[in-house]
Structure 1
């Protein structure tokens, strides 16, 4: 204590304030636990939300925001419309269109592990005819085996989406690997990686258009001759600087006679919306974190009140030796803040660690917003100050003679 000012120095104040915590470490740790849990919840929720958004945005950047999807919409009568067979070729002639691929959903065909599976157990799997450049347009790759080529596209050969392969219990490719598709055996050539831009592909068994016409009867009459049936989905890669312009022309180009029967979408918009909605449930978990902080604050306040009652002799002795009411008040207020800040720091570290572990398991960039950890520390300081204010005032108002009676 300074002889001239009668005030405690900052270091002395911290040392005196920490006496109560160091004397009762288990009690202090349990009191700080609620604050640590609440702070960890807040930091973890905000960190995981930000990391998830960063991961989705990175996925969008990798896949490219320049893919557009053209699908058959609804006719004026309310039924399902069909795209013209010539739609892919028409779209390919548009300016600023880089690549065009397409698939055709065959609703009457199903795929099974073997012919012994009941027909009703489809598992939601679909059969689609696919153009040979589909992986290039979707920017997906073959995880195992190979993709279709000019030869296998004409034969009973299929490539499975990731979900379809998992459902069928196929995790590797060998020469005798077969599936029961459309009432006959098809050899399995490969398994695709998941395609975030077109998740329906993951649930599908993909065959070539010639094989679909020859083995599955997917045909339509054109000028009295049988031709491969029309596509149901067309995937368009446009020049990145002209996506909006190409999008505005797709419906009329795909079906000039009935453009209102064509649905045009941008799959990356779905991922962008998902990134924006990644924090939709944050408020619920943040609320739980706030509740934990309130419980922690009540615990700190309770411990500080008990501490004042237990240390009346110490308070009386310090007052008798010349300590002012302000010094007593500052001591217990600082002790409460130290207790809360200790819990806040532990909570921030725990929340950051949880974010790093989970984001790492998902191959996301670890993003912990500044407002998450700084808000956690600031909240801890405010909680400590509010929780310790009443006990500190009570301690400072205790007369030395009353306090010393317990000595």
Structure 2
């Protein structure tokens, strides 16, 4: 090994002296290292946990939402009548089905609060009035998009020509409709609709569990077209939602595409980047604060060590040690403290990441550059913390040291 500067103390001896200085005060050194340990450990744990969470965001991102497009009228009123009319032409579902990437589509609208709903009283043909219950008109294609769990059946193209209804389980209990075998009926504005199915759950449109759903064709035949309140729910292939949302208004209303508004889900990659970016910025800042506190602790301890060892420094100077060698010794002590804290912090952060991942049943994701770079970060903190104490030690002259002694 070569000499550091100006005279006879090899670098390995300076390292040995620095290590000996740390081991001479194990309690103080442990407490000094604690700040760096917590800072580096927080850094590793934060990046490890957020990295693992990033993977879960993409895994757990609701695939149903990612393949769902909602289309509705922009609500532009007719300049003459002032009435907001439906912007969906006849044959809407067939036109949408021809768009590449569309799996299914269904149209629906709420009949409004003015509709009276009741149930046939047991053993009589008289409808018993009930509280406010939502009534939804739906086309048969909606069931393929909603994919309900149903007792009985839902209406198809053939049954949609009749006065039939599907109700949510809670509505079935509220109206005390009885088993389907008894052909219970609900009355919508005194028009009886035979209940053929009870919805227990649905993959989409879960608010249907709180409503009575009747065929759109029968509603149109009895009460006319909806006043601009209808919308369409479109299921797409994974990754095709944005493209379908752009094409649907043009396909349905080539003469006036702005009359319809298609809403596509957020891109899960952008969502993941936004969430992880916010988390990283927040927690890395907290880890940086811990690391800064650790660096201040190292600087304070090293400076105290310099002041306590002034006679020793003076003796070394008198025996021929140069200012650079004295300063290097204390700088190495500071770097060793930071490195030890970085190594222990890396192990602690990795352990925390693995523990959280196992507890949450995640796949632990920890980048190798984080594991390898964290001890270097600790050493860098020690280096920066030791600059001022090392300069103080290097400036001590032998005569001054002996005078103080």
TM-score bracket for this pair, using the shorter chain length: 0.5 to 0.7
The residue matched to 1:212 in structure 2 has which SS? strand
Structure 1 residues 155, 363: closer, same or farther in 2, change over 3 A? farther
Partner of 2:219: 220
Rounded Cα–Cα distance in structure 1 between residues aligned with 2:280 and 2:373: 15
Partner of 1:20: 21
Shift of 1:74: 1.9
Q: Write the deviation string for residues 304-340 of structure 1: whole angstroms up to 9, x where unpaired.
A: 1111122234334444555443332222111101111
Shift of 1:76: 2.1
Shift of 1:83: 6.0
Shift of 1:257: 6.1
Shift of 1:50: 3.0
Deviates more, 1:127-136 or 1:342-351: 127-136
Shift of 1:303: 0.6
Shift of 1:387: 1.4
Structure 1 residues 64, 190: closer, same or farther in 2, change over 3 A? closer
Shift of 1:73: 3.7
Structure 1 residues 104, 27: closer, same or farther in 2, change over 3 A? farther
Structure 1 residues 396, 69: closer, same or farther in 2, change over 3 A? same
Matched, 1:70 2:70: yes
Shift of 1:371: 5.2
Structure 1 residues 186, 45: closer, same or farther in 2, change over 3 A? farther
Work out whether residues 52 and 275 of structure 1, in 8 Å CA contact, stay in contact via their aligned partners in 2.
no
Partner of 2:269: 272
Q: Which residues of structure 1 form unaligned runs of 5+?
A: 110-118, 137-145, 159-177
Shift of 1:189: 5.7
Tell me the matched-pair count. Answer: 350
Partner of 2:185: none
Rounded Cα–Cα distance in structure 2 between residues aligned with 1:395 and 1:231: 81
Rounded Cα–Cα distance in structure 1 between residues aligned with 2:136 and 2:402: 88
The residue matched to 1:264 in structure 2 has which SS? strand
Rounded Cα–Cα distance in structure 2 between residues aligned with 1:88 and 1:248: 16
Rounded Cα–Cα distance in structure 2 between residues aligned with 1:186 and 1:315: 95
Rounded Cα–Cα distance in structure 2 between residues aligned with 1:58 and 1:81: 41
Rounded Cα–Cα distance in structure 1 between residues aligned with 2:243 and 2:338: 57
Q: Write the deviation string for residues 336-390 of structure 1: whole angstroms up to 9, x where unpaired.
A: 0111122222333333333334444555433334554455433322221121122
Work out whether residues 73 and 259 of structure 2, in 8 Å CA contact, stay in contact via their aligned partners in 1.
yes
Structure 1 residues 22, 374: closer, same or farther in 2, change over 3 A? same
Rounded Cα–Cα distance in structure 2 between residues aligned with 1:340 and 1:151: 70
Structure 1 residues 14, 71: closer, same or farther in 2, change over 3 A? same
Partner of 2:159: none
Matched, 1:36 2:37: yes
Q: Which residues of structure 2 form unaligned runs of 5+?
A: 116-130, 156-163, 179-197
Partner of 2:391: 393
Shift of 1:95: 4.6
Work out whether residues 220 and 228 of structure 1, in 8 Å CA contact, stay in contact via their aligned partners in 2.
no
Structure 1 residues 50, 322: closer, same or farther in 2, change over 3 A? same
Aligned-residue RMSD, C-alpha: 4.5
Work out whether residues 67 and 268 of structure 1, in 8 Å CA contact, stay in contact via their aligned partners in 2.
no
Task: Write the mapping of 1:5-404 to structure 2, written as runs, cut at 5 A.
Answer: 6-10=8-12, 12-59=13-60, 63=63, 67-77=67-77, 82=86, 84=88, 86-92=91-97, 94-102=98-106, 104=108, 106=110, 108=113, 131-134=142-145, 147-148=149-150, 151=153, 157-158=167-168, 179-180=170-171, 184-185=175-176, 190-191=200-201, 201=205, 204-206=207-209, 212-213=213-214, 220-222=219-221, 232-238=231-237, 246-255=244-253, 258-269=256-267, 271-278=268-275, 279-370=277-368, 372-403=370-401
Work out whether residues 88 and 254 of structure 1, in 8 Å CA contact, stay in contact via their aligned partners in 2.
no
The residue matched to 1:76 in structure 2 has which SS? coil
Work out whether residues 72 and 260 of structure 2, in 8 Å CA contact, stay in contact via their aligned partners in 1.
yes
Structure 1 residues 380, 184: closer, same or farther in 2, change over 3 A? same
TM-score normalized with structure 1 length: 0.68
Rounded Cα–Cα distance in structure 1 between residues aligned with 2:328 and 2:347: 28
Partner of 1:169: none
Greater Cα radius of gyration, structure 1 or 2: 2
